[in-house]
Amino acid sequence: MLYLTEADVARVLTMDLALDAVSAAFRKLALEEAVNNPRQRCQTDHVMLHVLPAAAKTLGALGFKAYTTSKAGAQFHVTLFDPKQGGITAIIEADVLGQYRTGAASGVATKKLARADASTVGLFGTGKQARTQLLAVCKVRPVKKAFVYGRDAERRKTFSAQLEKETGVEVVPVEKPEEAAKGLDIVITATAAREPVLLGEWVSEGQHLNVIGSNMNTKTETDVEVFRRTRVVTVDSKDQAKMEAGDFVEPLKVGALQWGNVLELAPMLVGRYPGRESSQDVTLFKSLGLGIEDIALAVKVVELAKQQGLGKQLLV
The predicted-structure confidence for 227-273, as pLDDT tens digits, reads as follows 999 999 999 999 999 999 999 999 999 999 999 999 999 999 999 99
Measure the CA–CA gap between 248 and 244, rounded to whole angstroms. Answer: 9
- Per residue in 3-51, pLDDT (tens digit) is 999 999 999 999 999 999 999 999 999 999 999 999 999 999 999 999 9
Question: Which DSSP state fits 164?
Answer: H
Question: For residue 214, what pLDDT band results from cuts at 50, 70 and 90?
Answer: confident
The CATH classification number of 2-98+292-313 equals 3.30.1780.10
136, 111 contact by CB (below 8 A):
no
Cβ-based neighbours of 260, under 8 Å, separated by 6 or more: none
Q: Is the confidence at residue 292, as pLDDT, over 90?
A: yes
CATH architecture label of 113-289: 3-Layer(aba) Sandwich (3.40)
Task: Please give the angle made by the CA atoms of 224, 230 and 236, to the nearest 5 degrees.
Answer: 95
Question: Do the strands 88-93 and 73-81 form a parallel or antiparallel pair, or are they unpaired?
Answer: antiparallel
- For 179, how many CA atoms within 13 A lie in the half-sphere containing its CB? 12
Q: Which pLDDT score is estimated for 193?
A: 93
Query: Residue ranges per domain, the chain?
Result: 2-98+292-313, 113-289
Q: Is 231 exposed, middle or buried (0-12, 13-18, 19+ CB in 10 A)?
A: middle
Q: Which pLDDT score is estimated for 108?
A: 98
**Mean of all residue pLDDT scores within the chain:** 97
Measure the CA–CA gap between 178 and 175, rounded to whole angstroms. Answer: 9
Is this model's pTM higher than 0.85 or not?
Answer: yes
Q: Which pLDDT score is estimated for 216?
A: 87
Q: Give phi and psi for 90, each to the nearest 5.
A: -160, 145
Cβ-based neighbours of 45, under 8 Å, separated by 6 or more: none
Question: Among positive and negative, which fits the CA dihedral 178, 184, 113, 142?
Answer: negative
264, 237 contact by CB (below 8 A):
yes
Cα–Cα distances (Å) from 120 to 50, 169, 207, 237, in that order, read: 35, 10, 10, 27
